[in-house]
Each structure stands twice: as structure tokens, then as C-alpha cells.
Amino acid sequence: MAEATIIENAGNGDIAEWLAARLGEALESTEGPVTITVPGGSTPFPIIEELLTRDLDFSRLVVWPGDDRIVPEDHEASNTGKLRALFEPAGAEVVTLTIMEQVPHFHLAWLGMGADGHIASLFPNTDPKVDEERSILRLTPDPLPPEAPFDRISLTIPALLDSDQIAFVIRGHDKRTVFDEALAGQNDLPVARLLAGAKQPVTCFT
């Protein structure tokens, strides 16, 4: 596992600035599209709003949700719908996750984490594998989160690891404890499995 860089007490603007710098580097290093995956939930969207104020060529950006609830894109629980509303006016492309989709190599995999150690929609009950042959899975969390009681579609650990770098945004003491234990190999939660398989730089904002 690559060592993780922990950046403490990072505000939304700080994280957006870091993301903009990484995207700027990727845009300069290739003439083609720059592809990233981003998390759902409430934490990312204020950061994305900040990111979109930066001077970048968003028309070359392709955004993949790391996961989504299986609901129509105009449903309030849809990550994809929210991402479209933010990124598409800036010229970026937002992909809809389907099982048959050909998943690319990502310039950046941006992840969140639940207090139970889940990443994307890879909850502990789904027993995600580092050697999973599929890139996208349809699955059902157990227990279903009461705030979002829907089946999910999610990138797998190998799909997320197929990236130049990984960034986490972890809010709250309880989550930080879980992340630190995963980083130290002291649990076998989904986040720990991903971190154990990571060879690229990992940055965690708290």
C-alpha cells in the first residue's frame, strides 16, 4: 500500500484548490479527456461548487459517479442527477452508471467513506474483493440506510484502484478513527481492502 498523506482541517475551498491543481496537471499532460470519479452524499457538492469556479477547461472533463442509488436521475436521491446539474453547465460530461459500461482508467478517484467503512456503495455486507473481475456491480446494502433505502450500482475496488491517484474526504471523529484503523491494517472493512491494494498516492482530507 502507498503511504497516505493526511491533510487536517481542510475547508471546502482548500480541497477544491487541491482538486483543481490535480485536474490542471492532468489537462496539461494529455490532449484527450480527463476522467475522474466522484462520490455522492452531501459532502462533495459544496466542494464541487467551489471547484467549478476555478479556471479549468471543464469541456475536457468526464465525470463518473463512484456509485448511485437505482432511482430516476430526476429523483432527489440520484447522485447522477445532482452531478449533471453542477457539471454539465460548465461543459463537462457526466456518465450514467450501467452494468455494461466500459470503465476507463481514472486520472483521479475521489472517494468518501461511511462510518461503517463502506466506500462507493461497497458496504461490508457485500464483501467487496480486490480481485473482483467486474468493474461495476448492482447490489443491495444491508442494512439499507434509512435516508436512502434503495438498491445501488457501484464501481468495484479494482475499478477504483485503476486510477493515477486517490483522494478521500473524511468528516467526523468516528469516521477518522475507522479510516486510521483501515490505514494501519487493523480492520478488514471495504476501505481497508482498497487501501491495502493501493499503489498510487492517497490523500485524505479531514
Give domain status of residue 86, yes or no.
yes
pLDDT for res 94: 97
Question: What number is the average pLDDT over the span 23-50?
Answer: 95
pLDDT for res 99: 85
Please state the length of the chain: 206
Give domain status of residue 153, yes or no.
yes
Residue 3 has pLDDT above 80, yes or no: no
Question: What number is the average pLDDT over the span 129-155?
Answer: 92
pLDDT for res 38: 98
Give domain status of residue 152, yes or no.
yes
The grid coordinates of residue 93 equal 460530461
Give domain status of residue 48, yes or no.
yes
Tell me if 70 sits within 8 A of 150, measured CB to CB.
yes
Whether cis (ω within 30° of 0) applies to the bond prior to 143 is yes
Tell me if 21 sits within 8 A of 108, measured CB to CB.
no
- Rounded to an integer, what distance in angstroms lies between the CA atom of residue 105 and that of residue 125? 27
Residue 167 has pLDDT above 90, yes or no: yes
- Rounded to an integer, what distance in angstroms lies between the CA atom of residue 157 and that of residue 131? 8
pLDDT tens profile 178-189: 999 999 999 999
Of the pLDDT bands very low, low, confident and very high (cuts 50, 70, 90), residue 137 is very high
pLDDT for res 2: 64
Give domain status of residue 78, yes or no.
yes
pLDDT for res 4: 92
pLDDT for res 158: 98
pLDDT for res 100: 80
Pairing of strands 152-155, 67-69: antiparallel
- Rounded to an integer, what distance in angstroms lies between the CA atom of residue 170 and that of residue 50? 18
Please state the domain count of the chain: 1
pLDDT tens profile 5-35: 999 999 999 999 999 999 999 999 999 999 9
Give domain status of residue 1, yes or no.
no
Give domain status of residue 130, yes or no.
yes
Q: Which domain holds residue 15?
A: 6-205
End-to-end CA distance of the chain: 20
Closest CA to 182 of 192, 173, 196: 192
The answer, as to whether pTM is greater than 0.75, is yes
CATH of residue 19's domain is 3.40.50.1360
pLDDT for res 147: 83
Residue 154 has pLDDT above 80, yes or no: yes
Give domain status of residue 186, yes or no.
yes
